[in-house]
Amino acid sequence: MIKKETMKIISINVIAKETVEMVLQNEYISENAAPGQFLHISVSGCTLRRPLSIAAVNRTAMTVTILFKIIGKGTKRLSEYVEGETVDVLGPAGNGFPLKNLSKKDKVLLIGGGIGVPPLYFLGCTLKELGYDVQAVIGFQSKDFVFYEERFKKLGETIVVTNDGSYGEKGFVTDMVDKITSFDRYYSCGPAPMLKAVTNTFQDKEGYLSFEERMGCGIGACYACIIPTNDGSNYKKICQDGPVFRAEEVSL
């Protein structure tokens, strides 16, 4: 259940170009957060809260890690917070990645792009703990933006892709089809064009997409996040109905 909580900043670090990792402590959120869910953070001086996906949870230390890219006033201000300060958070919010009907012999592929990579790390850790075979393809603009490569490699076979070829493989995540070993289900998060390409490439596979990058207000008020659906309901709101949907459920 989503609750309003105060979270203490344990650490804040720039881990790649324009990319900040923040570790926050709170017992309730760390106990209840599931992969694919997000925190709805109030930033001082900003009217609207910022929806930011959860990248990792440490239930022993009662911490939750979030990553964000500095792209506007709110995220710039958030990047200026320091250790020991607190933030007002609504969370854990949204419907996370479903794990049901996954059998132990199933192989899972995680496909992430840019700031869509963090929620897949939390998912990968959870799947690994549960004993699943995980592989990942993570894509970034260029070398300067790459993060969490080593962490993903500890979970399973991982391919790093950069659009300009300055690190890892050159191209887009969907260009790696020939390098990916067989899998049964995929989970993906990233920019909408990437999710569309992923859906088209893996039409014959069961897939789940997280659209967390496309949220605005995060509370159903701005309609910035609506997405057309294939189920006759015309559209869904990513912030309230998602951010995770079955690949065939939405029209990209």
Report yes or no: 116 and 212 within 8 Å, Cβ to Cβ. Answer: yes
The CA-atom distances, in angstroms, between 39 and each of 122, 164, 182 are: 14, 32, 33
Q: Minimum distance from CB of 179 to ligand FES (Å)? A: 35
Which of 145, 127, 140 has the alpha carbon at shortest distance from 194? 140
Nearest 5°: the CA angle 121, 14, 198 is 35
Of 133 and 213, the one with the shorter C-beta distance to ligand FES is 213
Rounded to a whole number of angstroms, the CA Rg of the chain reads 17
Q: Minimum distance from CB of 239 to ligand FES (Å)? A: 3
Q: If 0-12 CB within 10 Å is exposed, 13-18 middle and 19+ buried, where does residue 71 land?
A: exposed
Residues 211-240 that bind ligand FES (CB under 6 A): 215-218, 220-225, 237-239
Of 173 and 189, the one with the shorter C-beta distance to ligand FES is 189
Query: What residues pair up with 149 in beta bridges, in sequence order?
Result: none
Of 177 and 221, the one with the shorter C-beta distance to ligand FES is 221
Q: Minimum distance from CB of 215 to ligand FES (Å)? A: 4
Q: Minimum distance from CB of 202 to ligand FES (Å)? A: 27
Q: Minimum distance from CB of 127 to ligand FES (Å)? A: 28
Of 16 and 48, the one with the shorter C-beta distance to ligand FES is 48
Residue with tokens 């559209």: 235
Sign of the dihedral defined by the CA atoms of residues 144, 68, 121, 181, in that order: negative
- For β-strands 169-170 and 158-162, DSSP reports them as parallel
Long-range Cβ pairs for the range 11-14 (8 Å, 24+): 11/83, 12/79, 12/81, 12/82, 12/83, 14/79
Q: Which residues bind ligand FES (CB under 6 A)?
A: 215-218, 220-225, 237-239
